[in-house]
Structure 1
């Protein structure tokens, strides 16, 4: 009987290209690999918790730097399994994001940081401030600015807007939200104004729906992750796409950021095989493949390779420059086992606010009150 392992990964247009290489890896190694794809990251988190809490886990999972601390009990530290020379190829920021209390619990798949996307046939230049972006969006039919209105998407916009107003949303090390702050009130005002320029379905939209709307030419502005870039290159707006750094807030630029990772399970049935798959999925070749689709590699050798492949003075070359600049303004969520529960509180209250179900004052109060309860719950 051939060796067999199971992998649980996040699916979707930003991620699926890499998984097509698993079949050839399995053939080459003479093994069987069962790959289960979750439809979204919230679905992935639920699937991880359900599978491992019931003892029917996986050998390898994809996860995220902000969610891994909540899954640490099921993950295998990698420091003793990987040679220091293997880690030298990875960006030091990405490796630090993958560490929990100093121990490495995953290998970085990418560095995820967003850029502003706009239509060059509708706008002469990108707005330089959030207030200017709101004003521009209000004059752009049918939709000005499109954004996700649920889960991590809406949380991310609020988090980075607070940051651009000079306020980190959480007290740490326990992620206690502090939203009743001038920055929080300003962030909600910006979100409310932008929602008026977006489709009414926004509170039901996740990232992929936003990408699809903008790629179809229905909006003038959005923000998006590097992994969506291949969808724009194949879209009706491919020759009318402009890219820029985020607008400035009252204090600074702040851009919601993080890192997707691959991790080994403590209960891996075949640790050696799972580790081989981990190395394959985070290899130079794997990250170069994803970079060709748009992802910002966590490996410096893959980033150097894609920069060499890119035509000078092209939109793609400009984009790589912008992504590296954007990391200077990266705004990372805290790492804590209770963080996912707190983020869920923030996002659900923001969603209720966008639906018109509660006022700005109530939203900020509930984020603080319910978020503190979620952060301290045992």
Structure 2
């Protein structure tokens, strides 16, 4: 199969779909890999490394989209990339379609087969291709929040861990999944006062058992959210509904009650965000203020640490890329229900139920399209 890796064009996005190591694996299986010139240059993956691994270096994305059977990316295709997709071409990347009707319609109209990293599942009930970036984003959320708390960023002028004789900052993490757990770990590491809210008693018990008195766990209710958010110095939004839009758990009224200069970091912004006051921002201009509260809502947070993120992502995606290439998309998806859960759009039809529900579009089961 001919596999194409275009250079990412989203602002301040330096991750790359395949590393030279991944390219070498695919070439060893008999596949041809095209990589756009300088696709990995920002993270020390120069064209020579790709050529040594067996890749062909091409100048333009147009060449890749015109020739490749399988496109491997990191971020959702931008409008000028969607226009290059063609009937029957497989796109494997993060999509986050639920809050993005324009991209969804573009993929439907293209006739491509779009498989989303974020909805591929595993036998443990997890999301194995979202997990590595969730781990990165969770850890980054605390350092981003700590920076936003600085006075010259509009924050309260607080150090997360405090100092001798001065209390630590109060960090509230909404959601105890991969993002929330990693955010809590880093916040505890700098000696902040950490509270995690979740709807799962089982998950809260796990966190209590793991961290003991270093963490406070609270069952998530409207009352609990109102009380804890209003007194927090830093709130991390770490809620996920696989494939669907994130619920708006923190309202305008809750934000109004927060202290001036408190900080909200919305890691769920890719799926629409879990704060009513959120709007997507970029790494170039990450912060804005609403009701005196600083918001950090960057939709590609792991792109700020692109080298770590690229290698972590490739470790997870390579077996699935190999399956799609070795077997062809139809056989690979039919044989693996977990990979099939990643199928969002297939030749003009929307095949993920949560996306279809949130966008109020017609849903077609993946098996019906692949038969």
Normalised by the length of structure 2, the TM-score is 0.32
Normalised by the length of structure 1, the TM-score is 0.32
